[in-house]
């Protein structure tokens, strides 16, 4: 949906007003439903809106005024103003009278920090950075431009970091992948398949690949399910399937009759699939799982409301190494069954080594203390494991490091 936006640098808060109007009456309700505001977040925000937050909670160099830029993220703005950027409800609460939805922050808005009375409040500066002359008149220009409101809203994190990942790995149990439809052959007896090739696939007898009314069905192609083990208990939490490409169902499974030596024989006919994307070569035996609905890339960074116990990093995605870097994806041993949700922020603790104290007479065994070395944010939870993005680090996190509430 395209909207007319008034192009007036003297009234940047009009952008927020029009955004709210768009959400109220122009089909943006669906976005609001995908980005729920919990009662706890709203209550915290309302309290902060009335009283502000203590100055001690502000970041040391929080600017008095800041103009939101096109490539900003909500996480970066939170970090700019707060010592604890996951405390997004406070930042929202400081300006919730003008920003009705924390998922709808737009470039061009000017944030003004009020520190009066020993409390901090954040609002949109009216009249732009130069202000409006007292008693003056604001003249609106009739110029207009067409913009997509949904495209203007700032994401929580840089979409380029997460979006490719959302289309790739999947965590399943062993049975799900073992019983998923499989590629059995390629056209013209091809052993390996690439984009544009025709493949043939079959499902289980109880769940064949069949066409259905509506859009063409798209499947993701996987192989090599790798077990994800809890570093503490050794328990297998799930299997991470390797993404290799995408295929579309062009013709469902069927059967064909032929006469062989005077007898009628019925042959199964596999489904016809077109390979539409290939990260690497696709071959017979690879498994097919339905393409999930596209996820809207917005998350509200926040601390879990409950205590996270025995959290650990399980693996570093896409690497055979043990260590993770900033902006890298890791799997953790907590999922929806543990109350983990999109946007939950956890602190990373370096697991202190066990050493032998050789400086004393008895050579006693010591356990070095656990040290906090960074933050990560969950963006894709499964039942027993979740994927998270490493946001900040002071030392390299590794498999087995501990996770606690921030």
pLDDT tens digits for range 66-96: 888 887 888 888 888 888 888 766 666 665 5
Q: What is the mean pLDDT of residues 108-115?
A: 83
Query: Is the pLDDT confidence value at 7 over 80?
Result: no
pLDDT digits (tens, 9 = 90+) for 135-182: 444 444 554 444 444 455 667 777 677 776 666 777 888 788 888 999
Give CA–CA dist 324/241, Å, rounded. 20
Confidence band for 349, pLDDT divided at 50, 70 and 90: very high
Report the percent of the chain where pLDDT is more than 90: 28
Query: Please, is 215 exposed, middle or buried when counting C-beta atoms within 10 Å of its C-beta (0-12, 13-18, 19+)?
Result: exposed
Most confident option among 50-59, 168-177, 239-248, 314-323: 239-248
Query: Is the pLDDT confidence value at 375 over 90?
Result: yes
Query: Is the pLDDT confidence value at 239 over 70?
Result: yes
CA angle 165, 340, 53 (to 5 degrees): 100
Query: Is the pLDDT confidence value at 53 over 70?
Result: yes
Confidence band for 319, pLDDT divided at 50, 70 and 90: low
Give CA–CA dist 79/19, Å, rounded. 24
Tell me what pLDDT residue 48 has. Answer: 58
In the block, tokens 């490409």 appear at 245
Query: Is the pLDDT confidence value at 124 over 50?
Result: yes
In the block, tokens 């998922």 appear at 103
């Amino acid at each position: 949906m395209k909207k007319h936006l008034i192009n007036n640098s003297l009234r940047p808060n009009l952008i927020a007003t029009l955004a709210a109007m768009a959400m109220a009456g122009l089909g943006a309700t669906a976005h609001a439903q995908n980005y729920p505001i919990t009662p706890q977040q709203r209550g915290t925000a309302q309290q902060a809106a009335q009283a502000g937050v203590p100055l001690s909670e502000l970041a040391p160099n929080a600017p008095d005024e800041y103009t939101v830029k096109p490539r900003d993220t909500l996480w970066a703005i939170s970090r700019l103003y707060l010592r604890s950027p996951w405390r997004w409800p406070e930042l929202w609460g400081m300006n919730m009278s003008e920003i009705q939805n924390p998922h709808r922050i737009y470039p061009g808005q000017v944030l003004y920090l009020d520190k009066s009375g020993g409390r901090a409040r954040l609002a949109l500066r009216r009249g732009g950075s130069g202000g409006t002359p007292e008693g003056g008149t604001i003249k609106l220009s009739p110029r207009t431009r067409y913009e997509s409101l949904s495209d203007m809203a700032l994401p929580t994190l840089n979409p380029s970091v997460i979006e490719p990942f959302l289309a790739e790995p999947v965590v399943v149990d062993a049975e799900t992948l073992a019983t998923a439809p499989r590629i059995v052959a390629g056209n013209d007896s091809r052993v390996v398949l690439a984009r544009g090739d025709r493949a043939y696939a079959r499902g289980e007898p109880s769940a064949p690949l069949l066409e259905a009314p509506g859009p063409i069905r798209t499947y993701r192609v996987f192989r090599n399910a790798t077990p994800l083990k809890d570093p503490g208990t050794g328990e297998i939490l799930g299997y991470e399937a390797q993404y290799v490409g995408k295929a579309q169902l062009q013709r469902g499974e069927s059967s064909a009759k032929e006469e062989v030596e005077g007898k009628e024989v019925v042959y199964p006919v596999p489904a016809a699939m077109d390979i539409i994307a290939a990260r690497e070569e696709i071959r017979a035996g690879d498994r097919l799982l339905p393409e999930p609905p596209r996820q809207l890339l917005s998350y509200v960074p926040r601390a879990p409301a409950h205590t996270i116990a025995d959290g650990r990093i399980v693996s570093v995605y896409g690497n055979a190494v043990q260590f993770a870097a900033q902006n890298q994806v890791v799997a953790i041993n907590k999922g929806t069954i543990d109350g983990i949700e999109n946007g939950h922020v956890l602190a990373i603790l370096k697991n202190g080594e066990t050493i032998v104290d050789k400086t004393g007479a008895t050579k006693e065994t010591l356990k070095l203390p656990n040290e906090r070395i960074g933050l990560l944010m969950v963006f894709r939870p499964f039942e027993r494991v979740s994927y998270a993005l490493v946001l900040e680090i002071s030392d390299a996190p590794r498999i087995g490091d501990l996770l606690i509430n921030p």
